[in-house]
């Protein structure tokens, strides 16, 4: 890019009284004189003032919302109250026009549904550019946290040959001719003929491979896309989402919970310090939205108050059994207000239960651990009671489950028994069980759903609005 960014211009006064050149898109153009130009580098626009009398009138007519412009002129202190500096334009060039009759992103309020249909243009709005800048900052903070704390970044595979991770339905990867699939002698699809010579899928999690690296490099993490072919059309589920998965050797469930809390606080603190304008904008947007709601349904805390609350208060840590006791005796359960009534130990917690615990009972993030073995994955460490495993979930206000993790089963005999019980062919997981044969040790890790974190950090309520181009059932446009 030629010239400097608008962010650079407005964040110091070193350019004042000097000539600057910027490129950007027109946010608005009024009185044939004032262009609000934005280049996406920050929320703020720069005001560019045109000398109407000395400008080619035909060129002026081409300036409309959405057009790409390059502008040169002197940066001066502004006389307007809305901005401290502005550019007195001496030269401008229209790089790309945007026909005002058909340009979809007009300077007015658009619904999120409409913007989802125009996902290729929606980051031209303040809301979406703010969300995506925060998303970018959070990614940076995540890498920074792990780097500062001695973790190595491992690129676990996207295409996986193991269909036994047990985290959800998978998308098949194949180059077989679907109109003429080869079959073996028993009439089944012959995957030996397929590209990899075996069945392959898109990964649902990098955990199993990360475990292999933790068992040699100590502290590792993955941060990559994961894919789930579940037909979950909710505001919290995507078919393609990004997951952060640390995995640490010689660390038990207690260390795992502490790591997750410390990590979440660090990344939230990072954006509070580095995305002030974007958070302010989203906070105002949310406050306006809240005003439309009845008094009793309004959020008690503003966006930044909520983020500050999370970083300054300890997470509440309870066992699954304690959670069940609370839920069994709570008002909505007794009055049968829950869709799924809790009456027995062993029930899986639904999002209505998670939200009750976080939003009504404790009013802070809640960590639940020691879940019943039968509702959790095969690789989780069995407790001495023989019926619970060292699993942990972290629940956040407004989001529900944001983290899922566990101490892993490091005992070969117990793991093999578990694999058999759930009907997976042991041979499929030969390399995973090898890790328990050669130098096995206590180890733990967790998965953080990146988009759920971005939802929490931005106050957005639909997960489709925090990822650039969402993939959901029946939707892979763009
Ligand atoms: O609880 P999950 O399924 O855990 C795992 O995949 C483990 N292998 C992680 C580990 O221990 N390394 O998923 C972890 C997190 C959830 O807590 C949630 O935040 C997010 O991933 N998640 C989804 N986010 C968006 N859309 C979906 N369909 C999601 N499914 C899970």
How far, in Å, from the CA of 392 to the mean position of ligand 1? 12
Residue nearest to atom 28 of ligand 1 (CA): 237
Residue nearest to atom 31 of ligand 1 (CA): 449
- Residue 404: CB within 6 Å of ligand 1? yes
Residue nearest to atom 26 of ligand 1 (CA): 237
pLDDT value of residue 163: 64
User: Per the domain annotation, does 470 fall within a domain?
Assistant: no
- Are residues 251 and 158 part of one domain? yes
Ligand 1 atom with least separation from CA of 246: 12
What is the rounded CA–CA span in Å between residue 256 and residue 446?
7
How far, in Å, from the CA of 115 to the mean position of ligand 1? 27
- Joined together, the tokens standing for residue 446 give 């967790």
**Residue 205 CA: distances (Å) to CA of 137, 159, 244, 369, 403:** 23, 11, 9, 20, 13
How far, in Å, from the CA of 42 to the mean position of ligand 1? 31
- Are residues 214 and 71 part of one domain? no
8 A C-beta contact, residue 371 and residue 353: no
Residue nearest to atom 30 of ligand 1 (CA): 237
Residue nearest to atom 7 of ligand 1 (CA): 447
Reported pTM: 0.96
8 A C-beta contact, residue 340 and residue 347: yes
Which residue among 447, 448, 452 has the greatest number of ligand 1 atoms within 8 angstroms of its CB, and so is best to mutate? 447
User: Per the domain annotation, does 197 fall within a domain?
Assistant: no
Could you tell me where the DSSP H helices lie in 25-163?
57-61, 112-117, 126-148
At 190-237, the pLDDT tens digits run 999 999 999 999 999 999 999 999 999 999 999 999 999 999 999 999
pLDDT value of residue 198: 93
Residue nearest to atom 6 of ligand 1 (CA): 205
How far, in Å, from the CA of 399 to the mean position of ligand 1? 13
User: Per the domain annotation, does 358 fall within a domain?
Assistant: yes
Give residue 297's domain range: 124-169+204-465
- Are residues 45 and 129 part of one domain? no
8 A C-beta contact, residue 369 and residue 253: yes
How far, in Å, from the CA of 366 to the mean position of ligand 1? 17
How far, in Å, from the CA of 391 to the mean position of ligand 1? 13
Residue given tokens 């262009």 in the structure block: 35
How far, in Å, from the CA of 216 to the mean position of ligand 1? 24
- Residue 452: CB within 6 Å of ligand 1? yes
- Are residues 42 and 137 part of one domain? no
Ligand 1 atom with least separation from CA of 232: 28
Q: What is the CATH number of the domain that holds 269?
A: 3.30.930.10
- Are residues 347 and 398 part of one domain? yes
Residue nearest to atom 21 of ligand 1 (CA): 449
- Are residues 60 and 138 part of one domain? no
User: Per the domain annotation, does 302 fall within a domain?
Assistant: yes
How far, in Å, from the CA of 353 to the mean position of ligand 1? 18
Burial (Cβ within 10 Å: 0-12, 13-18, ≥19) of residue 218: middle
pLDDT value of residue 1: 52
How far, in Å, from the CA of 76 to the mean position of ligand 1? 51
User: Per the domain annotation, does 182 fall within a domain?
Assistant: no
- Are residues 135 and 90 part of one domain? no
- Are residues 128 and 84 part of one domain? no
How far, in Å, from the CA of 408 to the mean position of ligand 1? 16
User: Per the domain annotation, does 113 fall within a domain?
Assistant: no
- Are residues 94 and 230 part of one domain? no
pLDDT less than 50: residues of the chain: none
Tell me the pairing of strands 316-319 and 400-407.
unpaired
Q: What is the CATH number of the domain that holds 77?
A: 2.40.50.140
- Residue 24: CB within 6 Å of ligand 1? no
What is the rounded CA–CA span in Å between residue 266 and residue 258?
12
How far, in Å, from the CA of 240 to the mean position of ligand 1? 11
Q: Domain count of the chain?
A: 2
Q: At what angle are helices 126-148 and 450-458 packed, to 10 degrees?
A: 120
- Are residues 257 and 358 part of one domain? yes
- Residue 211: CB within 6 Å of ligand 1? no
User: Per the domain annotation, does 177 fall within a domain?
Assistant: no
How far, in Å, from the CA of 235 to the mean position of ligand 1? 15
Grouping H, G, I as helix, E, B as strand and the rest as coil, residue 203 is coil
Backbone CA torsion sign across 349, 394, 354, 459: negative
- Residue 453: CB within 6 Å of ligand 1? no
User: Per the domain annotation, does 115 fall within a domain?
Assistant: no
- What is Dmax (Cα atoms) for the chain? 86
- Residue 401: CB within 6 Å of ligand 1? yes
- Are residues 443 and 333 part of one domain? yes
- Are residues 138 and 77 part of one domain? no
Give the contacts of 133 (CB within 8 A, at least 6 positions apart): 42, 43, 275, 278
- Residue 122: CB within 6 Å of ligand 1? no
């Amino acid at each position: 890019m030629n010239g400097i960014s608008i962010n650079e211009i407005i964040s110091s006064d070193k350019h004042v009284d000097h000539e600057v050149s910027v490129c950007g898109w027109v946010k608005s153009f009024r009185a044939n004189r004032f262009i609000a130009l934005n280049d996406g580098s920050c929320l703020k626009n720069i005001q560019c003032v045109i000398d109407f009398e000395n400008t080619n009138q035909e060129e002026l007519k081409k300036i409309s919302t959405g057009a790409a412009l390059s502008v040169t002129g002197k940066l001066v202190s502004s006389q307007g109250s809305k901005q401290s500096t502005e550019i007195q334009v001496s030269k401008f060039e229209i790089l790309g026009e945007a026909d005002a009759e058909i340009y979809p992103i007009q300077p007015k309020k658009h619904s999120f549904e409409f913007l989802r249909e125009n996902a290729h243009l929606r980051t031209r709005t303040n809301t979406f550019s703010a969300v995506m800048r925060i998303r970018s900052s959070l990614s940076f903070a995540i890498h920074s946290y792990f780097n500062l704390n001695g973790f190595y970044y491992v690129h676990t595979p996207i295409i996986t040959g193991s269909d036994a991770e047990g985290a959800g339905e998978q998308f098949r990867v194949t180059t077989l001719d679907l109109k003429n699939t080869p079959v073996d002698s028993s009439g089944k699809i012959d995957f030996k003929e397929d590209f990899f010579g075996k069945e392959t899928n898109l990964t649902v999690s990098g955990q199993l491979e990360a475990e292999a690296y933790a068992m040699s490099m100590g502290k590792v993490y993955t941060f990559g896309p994961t894919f789930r072919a579940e037909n979950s059309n909710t505001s919290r589920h995507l078919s393609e989402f990004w997951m952060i998965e640390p995995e640490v050797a010689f660390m038990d469930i207690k260390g795992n919970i502490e790591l997750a809390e410390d990590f979440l606080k660090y990344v939230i603190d990072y954006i509070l310090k580095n995305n002030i304008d974007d958070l302010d904008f989203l906070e105002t947007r949310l406050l306006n939205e809240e005003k439309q709601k009845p008094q009793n349904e309004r959020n008690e805390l503003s966006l930044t108050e909520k983020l500050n609350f999370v970083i300054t208060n300890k997470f509440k840590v309870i066992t699954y059994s304690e959670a069940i006791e609370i839920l069994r005796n709570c008002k909505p359960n007794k009055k049968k207000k829950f869709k799924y009534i809790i009456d027995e130990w062993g029930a899986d917690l639904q999002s209505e239960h998670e939200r009750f615990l976080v939003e009504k009972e404790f009013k802070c993030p809640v960590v639940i651990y020691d879940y019943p073995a039968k509702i959790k994955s095969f690789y989780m460490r069995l407790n001495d009671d023989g019926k619970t495993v060292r699993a942990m979930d972290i629940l956040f206000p407004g989001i529900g489950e944001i983290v899922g993790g566990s101490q892993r089963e490091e005992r070969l005999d117990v793991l093999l028994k578990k694999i058999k019980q759930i009907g997976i062919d042991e041979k499929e997981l030969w390399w995973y069980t090898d890790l328990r044969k050669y130098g096995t040790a206590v180890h733990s890790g967790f998965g953080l759903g990146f988009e759920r974190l971005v939802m929490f950090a931005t106050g957005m309520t639909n997960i489709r609005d925090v990822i650039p181009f969402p993939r959901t059932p029946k939707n892979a446009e763009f």
